[in-house]
Amino acid sequence: MNCSLKCPQNCQGGYCDSVEGTCLDCKPGHIGPRCIHECPNGFYGKNCLENCSLTCVVPRRCNKVTGQCLGGCQAGWTGNMCEKECSDGQYGYNCVENCSMTCRDSVKCDKITGHCIGGCQAGWMGDMCKKACATGFFGKNCDENCSMTCGDPGVCDKVTGHCNDCLAGWEGDTCQKECIKGFYGSNCLGNCSLNCVDPGECDRTTGHCGGGCQRGWTGVMCEEECNVGYFGNNCDESCSMTCRDPGICNKVTGHCNGSCLAGWEGDMCEIGNYLSRRSMYII
């Protein structure tokens, strides 16, 4: 036959039997005496002895020559043959997704689903830690309740739990401390009046003097001096009308300022001077 026929095109190196024309060996991806058959599905390479990867996006679907997965990799895998797990911090098909930065450890998430391993950073919740805490909650995985003594009860910083301010009578970052003696109001910034009957002691919420006021003062916070004509605790007593200036006296003691009207004596001009009045009539 004068060697006029070419060896089959898929013979390795172009060599074949000089009589029969059968290939001495096949190129990768082909089998058969004359190497005319492609590898069956799921196999590749020389003599089709290699198995396509089970982590191809369609398991065991690969290029029959190279073994490279067709269509990419399943979630959690990468590489031409999908033989490599995703690096830390990556997940998903072909490992193109990044783990959430709000995972408790931002490089630790499930390489297939992206779910955070170990939970979420403070202020976040959900499998992938992409949801901010709902109103009223804070902390890791949003497991903590905001204080009901925040200025806006139940509303706080979703990471730290700190309140913007506190209800009257409370202080501290999370408004967990009652006002100490002598202070009242929001964040305990108010000073109890020293004119309370118990100086510096008042209702920690309102600042009201619970036991009333010292002599010479009135008002719920004992912030008002007695009006002219009144004196004593809570200004409940009236100045004497026998003072030299009737109805005008010391707002604390009730003592008349100066002296008394004719015929009267005593600090409060409460004692009638009968001898003095009699002498007046005799004259």
Residue 105: pLDDT band with limits 50, 70, 90: confident
- Judged against a pLDDT cut of 90, whether residue 6 lies above it is answered with no
For a pLDDT cut of 90, what percent of the chain falls above it?
A: 76
- Judged against a pLDDT cut of 60, whether residue 206 lies above it is answered with yes
Q: pLDDT digits over 131-174, tens only?
A: 999 999 999 889 999 999 999 999 999 999 999 999 999 999 99
State whether residue 231 is helix, strand or coil. strand
Task: Give the residue with greater pLDDT, 138 vs 2.
Answer: 138
C-alpha radius of gyration, the chain, whole number: 48
What is the CA angle 246-248-251, rounded to 5?
150
Of 107, 115, 79, the residue nearest 94 (C-alpha): 79
State whether residue 144 is helix, strand or coil. strand
Q: pLDDT digits over 79-104, tens only?
A: 999 999 999 999 999 999 999 999 98
- pTM value? 0.61
In the chain, what are the domains?
86-145 (no CATH), 149-211 (2.170.300.10), 226-283 (no CATH)
- Judged against a pLDDT cut of 70, whether residue 279 lies above it is answered with no
CB 156 within 8 A of CB 173: no
DSSP per-residue codes, 76-137: TEESTTS-EEPPTTEESBTT-EEPPTTBSSTT-B-TTT-PBTT-B-BTEESTTS-EEPPTTE
- Judged against a pLDDT cut of 50, whether residue 282 lies above it is answered with no
- Amino acid 274: pLDDT: 56
Of 238, 240, 233, 237, the residue nearest 218 (C-alpha): 233
